[in-house]
Structure 1
């Protein structure tokens, strides 16, 4: 092992080597000199731009678009479950979906935005590209956005006069706040069971049940009846949302451990949680195949069985190629799970 020497001495030794050795060695030494000079130069500080395009891009990242896509597709899928005949697909039905989508997406932005406001320091480690952590938005701007979208969401919920819709918005608001806000008895994201329960109640229960009742009873005017696809979808999504709640912390162990967030990935290790999530999804897909095989309608049976077999196969093949120690690999796979989440919503309406 060579002793540490000052930078100037390294330059001096390098020049001697150029004289004594062939040109190829001298070239390698010249590269070393350039690397030393580069490390001595301070990295330029990031300066956010104030152009309209840059601000729109920052707002886009602030909304966490993959969660909005999940909300959008989920509501469309759930809204189709009460439909029994073509006559149900009326202008009133589509207007009812629109009245559901607008306040739900605004409340989605509130939840993810509030989480970013309280996680700025953690996100500088785990998600440095988010606008608050990166400095594209100030905390005041983030607070203004969160306050505005929550107010608009509740305003629409009250104006549309649908108790199930307003109930779903209220549950999302309360649990989303309890998850993120750093006050006594709150900040539930520090506790893995409470964190998973928050996400499960919002994504698997409130979205499925409340929005289904909203469309069935308050839009289509039918009596409240829990159908087979609703029961299947709610049960399946409980598994899926639990997986998302567990998996989202796998790439974030460094920041979570540093700031005292005791996620399952911090406590049990990334690899154990990774394969727990994979096995949970495979169990859910296997159950869906069994249920699909028992359906009375040939089209429903074929789509449900073949669709879930394909998704399970793709999941297994992709999971075997993931390096759990590589944050980029894990983050990419996490987004792949969201794609499976979207795909499931296309299959649920076929369970009849």
Structure 2
């Protein structure tokens, strides 16, 4: 896609960059932010002029509806720098459209394409030096919108703030990842907001994830809310299962996020002649495959981690270790996908967009 330009934009640059204070080799994910941010307010039924300004806290009314009724959505994206010092985005159109789908579901105004895409383009031009070369180095992009209208009446806000902040990043997860299959808690329910990137979806995961951590697991494989028999997502990622030489993943629904990395994995696997089936996978199927040796791999897929192999899973007090395999489909797909993102391989899909 072509990035739309934004002509009506105010830019206020900082006189004191923080970039030389940052240790880019030792970054904790999502804790360091670049010099500037984009801000655009929705007031009186329309979007105002976007502003790029120095990254800083801002004042907000204590009765703002984001605090009381949870109107908040976000996206996760990345920028990559190739060996020629050009900066690229990966499938930004998918994030833009999903952001506005989330907005609609949360009774929030859609953000215009020139504000989202054009504002992001200009922000990345200004912060280009924060995108470091080398595989594994990225600039994580966090567009988000919150309800800023004041008053505690239970109704949608009339005012909103859209923002984009940027954070230099390296690997999201480190070490081995073990998961436990949820028997009681659910990530989302039919008719709910599971398909939206709403802030509340993630806060609701914190408590059951803490319980899993206490048992020695890093994440949870969520199951459906009605029967807890269908495997749906892993932590904050879509999840894939390799049984023999077929990869399975759950279909998207009202409960399951339409992940950009997820759909990229599916398309890339099919291009590599890997058999992919998009269907519900049952807990009992996974247990049976683990016991008879046909379960080869489980891996999560998401923007932050790209692909994260899972070494084992727990269910009903029993732990199943996955086999150590030489020809990992997960790692093969990750290598091909990241090569496209870093422009180390030809992008035959047309996924990458130059800044």
Higher normalized strand content (fraction of residues): 2
Regarding TM over 0.5, the answer is no
State the TM bucket, normalised to the shorter chain.
under 0.3
Q: TM-score, normalised by structure 1?
A: 0.25
Higher normalized helix content (fraction of residues): 1
Q: TM-score, normalised by structure 2?
A: 0.24
User: Which has the greater radius of gyration?
Assistant: 1
The structure showing larger relative contact order (alpha-carbon pairs under 8 Å, at least 6 residues apart) is 2
